[in-house]
């Protein structure tokens, strides 16, 4: 995906030096946030989490992004604005770990959610996606869409209005829409997960995870979830990427601490390009802080002011001071 010059200009004009230079909030990790499979949450925990997302959808904006109506719009906007720079690149996994943490920070600080951060254990639903607990209309995220627009007809998000377009303008209104595809979801099979976890290098592991497990969740839910820019509008996005983040951590955990260092990750041979298809707009590349076209630990991750910026180095350790989490 390549953005036109005017869209890049809009992003950079909005971001400005103040936000791009914002410091990372530093505090010692003393109590780690638990990350738990959705299927293992109690009904009360599920409701509290769903209510927190509904809360973000009703919380006034906290940035100056034009036309947004709530924090949910802002979260979707910042992903759309960077879509061409956070997929199929070396920062795919680091950015989305940062992004999942940003969502967690917002539901905690703005909506008072302090329960487990759930992820979707996707291999368990291969072959029976339609019966997945995550799609339950009463205790989950609602089932598939209906009608020409494929809008949700049940669950807590059936009447949600989204408004961020691929042109980054907030004006058009549309629903959360899905078109469940169990065949595509078969790529989430455990054998594909195991293949990725067995990869020897970050470069190979990242490409494997993004190719099969990652695409499976998006393609299985389908609808809005297959829009590379706007998919965070569907609340299932956060549990899907919670799972992808767990896969990365599972891979990292096989060789600690070696896989938390630059030598095992981002260098000129295995780091991955920092922009898609070798496109290196100077405005973006200079902003990233890599001092070149290859991703380094100094690469800056941003949410355009929703939470402070971080670097790849900050998010490498899931249990470190920045993310401060553990999978249980």
> Alpha-carbon dihedral of residues 271, 229, 317, 262, nearest 10 degrees?
10
**Band of pLDDT at residue 117, cut at 50, 70 and 90:** very high
**Band of pLDDT at residue 1, cut at 50, 70 and 90:** very low
Q: Is the pLDDT of residue 49 over 50?
A: yes
pLDDT score for 148: 78
> Which residues, in sequence order, are CB contacts of 145 under 8 Å at separation 6+?
151, 152, 153, 175, 177, 178, 179, 223
User: Tens digits of per-residue pLDDT, 216-265?
Assistant: 999 999 999 999 999 999 999 999 999 999 999 999 999 998 888 755 55
> Which residues, in sequence order, are CB contacts of 322 under 8 Å at separation 6+?
24, 101, 310, 314, 315
Sign (positive or negative) of CA dihedral 57, 78, 83, 168: positive
pLDDT score for 43: 97
The pair of three-digit structure tokens given for residue 77, joined into one six-digit string: 């906007």
Residue-averaged pLDDT of the chain: 87
**Band of pLDDT at residue 73, cut at 50, 70 and 90:** very high
- Picking from 112, 107, 105, the residue whose alpha carbon sits closest to that of residue 56 is 107
**Band of pLDDT at residue 9, cut at 50, 70 and 90:** very low
pLDDT score for 222: 96
Q: What are the structural domains, with CATH classification, of the chain?
A: 5-327 (1.10.1280.10)
Provide φ and ψ at 163, rounded to 5°: -145, 5
User: Tens digits of per-residue pLDDT, 146-189?
Assistant: 877 899 999 999 999 999 998 888 778 999 999 999 999 999 99
Reduced to 3 states (helix: H, G, I; strand: E, B; else coil), residue 76 is helix
> Which residues, in sequence order, are CB contacts of 69 under 8 Å at separation 6+?
60, 61, 163, 170
Q: What is the pTM of this model?
A: 0.90
């Amino acid at each position: 995906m390549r953005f036109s010059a005017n869209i890049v200009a809009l992003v950079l004009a909005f971001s400005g030096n103040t936000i791009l230079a914002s410091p990372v909030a530093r505090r010692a990790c003393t109590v780690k946030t638990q990350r738990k499979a959705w299927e293992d949450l109690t009904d009360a925990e599920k409701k509290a989490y769903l209510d927190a997302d509904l809360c973000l959808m009703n919380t006034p904006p906290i940035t100056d992004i034009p036309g947004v109506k709530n924090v949910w719009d802002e979260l979707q906007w910042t992903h759309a604005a960077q879509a061409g720079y956070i997929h199929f690149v070396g920062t795919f996994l680091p950015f989305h770990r940062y992004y999942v943490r940003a969502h967690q920070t917002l539901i905690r600080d703005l909506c008072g959610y302090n329960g487990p951060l759930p992820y979707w254990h996707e291999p368990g639903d291969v072959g029976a996606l339609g019966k997945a607990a995550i799609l339950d209309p009463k205790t989950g995220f609602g089932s598939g869409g209906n009608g020409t627009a494929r809008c949700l007809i049940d669950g807590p998000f059936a009447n949600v209005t989204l408004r961020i377009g691929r042109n980054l303008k907030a004006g058009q209104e549309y629903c959360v829409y899905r078109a469940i595809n169990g065949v595509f979801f078969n790529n989430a099979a455990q054998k594909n997960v195991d293949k990725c976890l067995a990869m020897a290098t970050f470069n190979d592991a990242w490409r494997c995870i993004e190719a099969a497990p990652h695409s499976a969740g998006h393609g299985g839910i389908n609808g809005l979830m297959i829009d590379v820019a706007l998919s965070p509008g569907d609340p299932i996005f956060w549990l899907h990427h919670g799972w992808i983040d767990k896969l990365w951590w599972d891979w990292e955990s096989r060789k600690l601490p070696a896989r938390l260092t630059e030598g095992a990750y981002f260098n000129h041979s295995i780091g991955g390009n920092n922009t898609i298809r070798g496109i290196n707009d100077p405005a973006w590349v200079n902003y990233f802080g890599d001092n070149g076209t290859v991703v380094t630990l100094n690469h800056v991750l941003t949410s355009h002011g929703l939470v402070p910026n971080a670097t790849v180095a900050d998010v490498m350790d899931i249990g470190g001071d920045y993310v401060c989490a553990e999978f249980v």
